[in-house]
Amino acid sequence: MDTHARALLRILCLTLLQFHGGGVTAISGGTNDGSERWGYVEVRPKAHLFWWYYRSPQRVSLPAKPWPTVLWLQGGPGASGVGLGNFLEVGPLDVNLKPRDSTWLQKADLIFVDNPVGVGYSYAEDPSVLVTTDWQAATDATELLKALSKEIPTLQSSPLFLVAESYGGKYAATLGVSLARAVRAGELHLTLGGVALGDSWISPEDFALSYGPLLLQVSRLDSNGADSASKKAQVVKQHIAAGRFKQALYALGSMLTSIVASSGHVDVYNFLLDSGMDPVAAPARSFSLAYSAYLDSKLSIGDSIRGIMNGAVKEKLKIIPKDVV
């Protein structure tokens, strides 16, 4: 074997590994120094979850204080943790692919996952294997972690914290229960350190009813505006009770758009700010489109998430199927 062939073989061994165990198949890659690993786990036949692991350069191994690992779960449902959580929020690089000074990697190892199957780089070979419940998503994520506990050597000795935002709060809660059951059954060898829910969207009815009173208390709405918001929230509640979830979503959007107009354009992600002041949530043309804007709009600070994920990031990872965008 010539020198070129041996070098190529080493690169392939470093960047493409396949293993089979317990019915789970995986394809993974990573950097030469092991500081990053990424890959797919086939959690069910034809259902593939994508994950990306970062090892902290500040990692210190102390028996009395094990270095933590954070598993980030994005919301939506349908938002990419590998894209949004990583490049817009807590990962080592920002949306311009420049180092982020405030990255959580300073305090923990990080794992981002596109969850559930069908989100971001995660994909289904057949629409019939897409999940339809939060518990199905939790079962898939549990299978993912069973595979990662073998793929990432430090994971079994590192307390794992499930951290979620928005609808991800449901994922984190159900996954926490699923992991605890798997650990007790001896099917998974890791330590569940805790569950953290950030702005978790886990009870739309209760949240809708809270907007008016809260914004009245902090003087972002007057009594007329608060009363109007509360009446619109009752409409949301009625639609949810009747199972009219699409109408409930539209009613919620109408309520929030009305709140923005009545409050001097309060930023409903942060009532201390006005709409457009928050660099993460902006720009939002109306609140019914706010989260879509958060996901898809071009940001003033650089390329869109969609652009980098289908460009530079996809090129780096090299294992993303061409038809997954």
DSSP 271-286: EEEETT--TTT---SS
**Residues 166-200: tens digit of each pLDDT:** 999 999 999 999 999 999 999 999 999 999 999 88
**Residues 43-69: tens digit of each pLDDT:** 999 999 999 999 999 998 788 889 999
Q: Is 3-199+309-317 a domain of CATH 3.20.20.220? A: no
Q: What is the mean pLDDT of residues 222-226?
A: 96
Rounded Cα distance between 104 and 88, Å, is 12
Q: Please, what is the Cα angle at 52 between 295 and 162, to 5 degrees?
A: 80
Q: Please, what is the Cα angle at 31 between 28 and 36, to 5 degrees?
A: 75
Q: What is the mean pLDDT of residues 4-24?
A: 40
**Residues 247-305: tens digit of each pLDDT:** 999 999 999 999 999 999 998 888 999 976 655 544 334 444 454 444 444 343 335 88
CB 179 within 8 A of CB 195: no
Q: Tell me the pLDDT of the chain averaged across its residues.
A: 86
**Cβ contacts of residue 248 below 8 Å, gap of 6+?**
204, 236, 239, 240
pLDDT, residue 25, reads 61
Max intra-chain CA distance, the chain: 80
Q: Where does the chain hold its CATH 3.40.50.1820 domain(s)?
A: 3-199+309-317
**Residues 133-165: tens digit of each pLDDT:** 999 999 999 999 999 999 998 999 999 999 999
CB 32 within 8 A of CB 14: yes
pLDDT, residue 63, reads 80
Rounded percentage of the chain residues whose pLDDT exceeds 70: 83
pLDDT over threshold 80, residue 3: no
**Residues 304-322: tens digit of each pLDDT:** 888 999 999 999 999 999 9
